[in-house]
Amino acid sequence: MKDFSNKYIFIYATVLVLVVAAVLATTATLLKPFQIKNVNTEKVQNLLAAINVEASFDEAETLYKEYFKEELGINKEGNVVDVYNVAEGKMVEGTERPFAIDVKKQQSLLKEGQDVVFPLYVYEKDGQKGYVIPLQGAGLWGDIWGNIALAADFNTVVGVNFDHAGETPGLGAEITTKGFQEPFIGKHIYDAAGNFTSVIVKKNADATTGNEVDAISGGTITSTGVSDMLKKDLEFYQNYRNKIVE
């Protein structure tokens, strides 16, 4: 075996690390635009999926303009601070496009008690107006997120879609399947007495209440995560809801 001097080893390690760093930095920079486009298109696809419109990667943008009318930015008091007109592609009120709001970041700001703005999407399908609320929570292994579409009464669930970063395939990851999501349709986020309940995901859900959906067997923690996420995120919009429904 050849003998290498300490000097050689240090130089070798340094050069190698620099080369690898340069390669990775270059690749990341070059691929960034593609990745951002993927992420945004997926977000649009998910919003459409919540209102039960299936969109391929290429047609997502067009369909979004067809179904979605406005993006609103809602603050803690339930006031609308940003309005983005989707058809015209410009801000009507405020400065930040609600689509670009990082929900996860807003949630941590909310926890610290700071001022926050959450996005709310207004859509119109088959002549019916409704709202889509983005969701963001935690599953077993990492983030879970999704959208829930509500009818104009801000109560009846029109559709949901969920996605996850790394839930177990076959177990927690089943939240992305139709089998888990379809039972949400027609459920309500208020009980018969008008109290906010959200849609609860649990074992042996009681179908008669209209507020419960069956959990995934073997995916209990992810199911609970979905349930908590719905409750926490829907609650934020209650002030806004009280203003428009009363």
Partner 1 sequence: MSGKNLKLIKNPLSKENPITVQVLGICSALAVTAQVKPALVMAISVIVVVALSNVIISLLRNTIPPRIRIIVQLLVVAMMVILVDQFLKAFVYDVSKQLSVFVGLIITNCIVMGRLEAFAMQNKPWASFLDGIGNGLGYGLILFIIAFFRELFGSGTLLGYQIIPDSWYAANGGFYHNNGLFILPPMALIIVGIIIWVHRSRNKDLCEN
CB of 114 to partner 1, least distance (A): 31
Other beta carbons less than 10 A from residue 97's beta carbon:
16
What angle separates helix 238-245 from helix 220-236, to the nearest 10 degrees?
50
Rg (C-alpha) for the chain, rounded Å, is 22
Binding range to partner 1, per CB under 8 A, among 5-13, 72-80, 102-110, 205-213: 5-13
List 85's β-bridge partners, or say none: 70, 90
Of 14, 18, 38, 245, the residue at the interface with partner 1 (CB under 8 A) is: 38
Residues 12-31 that bind partner 1 (CB under 8 A): 12-13, 16-17, 20, 23-24, 27-28, 31
Site string for partner 1, 133-162 (x = CB under 8 A): --------xx--------------------
Size of residue set near partner 1 by CB under 8 A: 31
| Residue carrying the six token digits 């018969």 | 192
What CA–CA distance (Å, rounded) separates 246 from 243?
Answer: 6
Which of 79, 156, 56, 74 lies closest to 121, judged by CA?
Answer: 74
Q: Does 244 bind partner 1 (CB under 8 A)?
A: no
Of 170, 186, 191, 192, the residue at the interface with partner 1 (CB under 8 A) is: 170
CB 146 within 8 A of CB 163: yes
Residues found near partner 1 in the complex (CB under 8 A): 1-2, 4, 8-9, 12-13, 16-17, 20, 23-24, 27-28, 31, 34-35, 38, 42, 141-142, 163-166, 168-171, 217-218
